[in-house]
Structure 1
Amino acid sequence: MLNLDEYFKTTFEDKLLFKMLEREEDQLTPATRLLEKRRELAEVEQALATQKEEFQMKMESLQQRRAELERKELQLKESLEKFDKFLKENDLKKNRAIKKANDERDMKKAKDKEIEILQVESENLNKECKQMKNKQDAYMIFNSFMLRILNDTEEFNEIRDIISRYDTLISTYKDLVEAEQRNQDMIEKIKQNTLRETEEKHNEILGYNNLLSNLQSEVEYYESKALFWESKWNHIKNTASKEALKSGQIKMATRNLYNVIKTYQEQIITEEVTTLQQLNYVRIFGEDLTTITQTIYNEFCQDEVN
């Protein structure tokens, strides 16, 4: 409220000051100017009071509207809370109803399944009962047959004796079958052993035959090698004979040449020397003879030149 008073006061003071400035230009008398100012001031105060009263009325109206809005807002909030509570309760009831319906549906399915199982079991029991009845009817033939045997023979006193004899015969038959099976197994085992031993002997004979064939091949190979080396030996002997003959001829020629040189040198052979020594002696003589001949030839050529 104080701020509004200051606002209106400032506004009217500005207007009053503006008018006073305008009147000063008219050069009014001070008394007239004072009265005019008082009149204007009264008008301004009257207008200010009127506006203040209007503003106060507007403020009261606004406060009433605000209070009404707050009251309505509170009512709306309460209504919303009640409606939300109603929705939650309704959802809870709905969920309980759905759960109950689902449970009842599951229970119904389980009961239906149980009924189906019981019906199947009942049908199976009826079938089994019928089968047992059929077996009973079928076995009545054997009962009549055994009663007839008891009446026709004095060996058995009761049906139990016949069954006991039957069990004994069946047991004996099984023993005989088992013994026969054991004998057959033994015979089969002997056959298998004989066949295996025969096969082993056959394989052993084949092995010896292969070994004999390999040895025969080796004998033939070594015989061919012996013939080859025998021909080689004959060739070597023939070659050795020829070489021995040639060696003898060389030795004889060397001996003759050695004797000729010794005779030429008028030397007497006093000791036996080897063929190699003879050849060495002949070589030295030949070299000396070549040197002498070359010297004589050179001197002859020199004399011819002179």
Structure 2
Amino acid sequence: MSGGERELPGGESPRGTMSGGERSPRYQLNLNISRRNVFVTQLEEGRDDEDGDVTQIPVIKEAASRILETSRNTLQKTLVLKKEVEYDRVSQELLNKKQEFEERMQALDVKKEEFFQKQLECSEKASKFEKFLKESDAKRRRAIAKYQTESRQNEFRQTEIEELKKQLETQRARQLKLHERLKKNRTYEDFLLKMADNVPEDYLDYGVDSPVKAIIRRHETLSLTNESLVDNLTALADEQENKQHALELLQRNYDTCKLTMNSELSRLQQEYDRIVERNKQLELNFNLNKGHFRTQSVEVGSLLMAVTNLAEQCHMKHYGPVDEVELLRKLEMIKEYVLEKMHVEKLASQPPEAGPLVPNPDSQASKLKKTTAKEPPKSRTSQLQRNDANKRRLSTLGANI
């Protein structure tokens, strides 16, 4: 490389190459070197006395393209030249790619044509195959219809064959019966033929008293009797069959009723066992509470006798006879009597200046109301509740007694 030419970054030559091998003049880079640079290959020791015109160049580790782009000393012409080189390279690559794309498009057109031909062939094959499938389906349907028709005909023929076999068996059985009957009656035929040979020629001239006529009448009588007996036997057989059916029906009804009655008996037995168990429990409870009931009845009887005695002692005329007064009325009468006595005692204990000795019933009632009103609400309510509870208890005990 000459001193006036510099290698571009990336190993590219600054001078372009033309089609004939010559370099393009627009890619030539001319630099004016004003000064020669010297590379230092020795250490800095012992170099103090050297000339001051030596330029020290540091070691550069960056790429040449990076140096050209970032250096302030890089000429604009150099950068433009670099960009033109890159543009030409990219243009050449683009032309190559266009040519490659055209070749691929041509190959694709060829493949499209082949694909279209294959598609036409496949469509023709598909249409032929579909036509073949339709024909096969039609043949299959015709074969199925023919098979079904033949199957029905075979079933019908088989049914006819079975019926004919049954008729043949019936006819064979009838033939055997007729043969047996023929064998049975052949004896009579032989007998009659022998008798006809022995009978005189003028046997028909005999009158009513002829033995032949008697035999014929006897035969007719026996034949009629046989027919009546056969009819009677048939009727009796039918009746016996009906009676047998009725007996079976009665037996089924009897079994059903028996099952129903057994189930009902089982249920009643369970109910009886439950009632017996309950009675035992009640009897046990009664035995346990008998002493308590006896004591309670004695106490209630004593209490009722005490109430009756008090009612007789505290009897008031406006309540009527003591025997006809109810228990609660007796208690009210005793209460009224006691209150009246208390009021009389209170009036008797007062001095003469306090007022008249004969009390006024209205004033007495008003005083009772005032005294009851002066009582505390809580104690009065509790007292009323206790009185009501005592009354209910007394009435309950009296009802139980």
TM-score of the superposed pair, with normalisation by structure 1: 0.34
| Bigger-Rg structure (1/2) | 1
TM-score by length of 2: 0.28
Higher helix share: 1
